[in-house]
Structure 1
Amino acid sequence: MQTAMQTHESKLVLSTPDHFHIILIDDIVSCNEVNSKTTVTLQNGEQYSVDLTLDKMRQKINREDFFQPQDNCLINGQYVNKLQRIEKPELLLENGQVFSISPGRKDEVLRFLNKITRIQI
């Protein structure tokens, strides 16, 4: 179990009893909070569970390309492949993760999408 986290420029340091895991913020695909612990999923599939709330994790990451489609998750927009608009709004990520968009977070997702250059067909 990870016990602490520090930031340095574009990296995070996750510390475990035996190791310091130095990860690039760009490699973070998603962060999910359950019971005040956040699981960080990386591009290579590795996961780390840290004793940090999602709010504190977001403060540590502090990047505009991360956004919250739900109260309990933080997504790196670099890994979003699709946004399903019909029926149930969902985000599909490159690694196969699917996150529904809560009505209260719809505006945050739209703000993120507005930052991306769009070509309409």
Structure 2
Amino acid sequence: MLHTPKEKLVLSTRDFYHLIEIENIIYCKSDNSYTTFYLNGGEEIKVSVSMKNVEQKLDSSTFIRPHQSYLVNIHHIKSIQKSSGGDLLLDNGKTITVSTRKKSEILHLLGDIKRIQV
């Protein structure tokens, strides 16, 4: 059986280089020139890198920007609220607001996910 290695991202903090599997990133949150990565299992890693830099490193078909401060892995979205601007409920329980101007873009990107609507 052929084993395919999982794609990783290297995050540099003051004391460590963290090698994380990209699929384990639930979302990223921007705080000025810092970005915090929220991972499966509750781990958080804060790095001195702008969100724009992070967005350029991650696949745009997997990571969406629902709001200026957030970058979300679509594979960790549990549900989307239909009303108002909409909210994304992630599988770790976090709710992220979708900006009004991003809602149609988010719904378009999510349309590519295989689903059955009942």
TM-score, L = length of structure 1: 0.85
Q: Which runs of 5+ in 1 are unaligned?
A: 1-8
What are the residue-to-residue correspondences of 1:54-73 with 2, within 5 Å?
Answer: 54-73=51-70
Please point out which of 44, 50, 54 is paired with 1:53. 50
Q: How many residues align?
A: 113
- Counterparts of 1:77 and 1:25 in 2: how far apart (Å)? 12
- Counterparts of 1:85 and 1:71 in 2: how far apart (Å)? 20
Q: Does 1:22 align with 2:19?
A: yes
* Equivalent pair of 1:67/1:77 in contact (CA under 8 Å): yes
Please point out which of 80, 98, 102 is paired with 1:101. 98
Q: Which runs of 5+ in 2 are unaligned?
A: 1-5
* Residue of structure 2 equivalent to 1:3: none
- Which secondary structure state, in structure 1, belongs to the residue aligned with residue 37 of structure 2? strand
- Of 10-19 and 64-73, the range deviating more from structure 2: 10-19
Deviation at 1:67, TM superposition (A): 0.2
- Of 13-22 and 28-37, the range deviating more from structure 2: 13-22
Moved over 6 A (4+): none
Percent identity of paired positions between Structure 1 and Structure 2: 36
The root-mean-square deviation of aligned C-alpha atoms, in Å, is: 1.5
- Counterparts of 1:102 and 1:88 in 2: how far apart (Å)? 6
- Which secondary structure state, in structure 2, belongs to the residue aligned with residue 44 of structure 1? helix
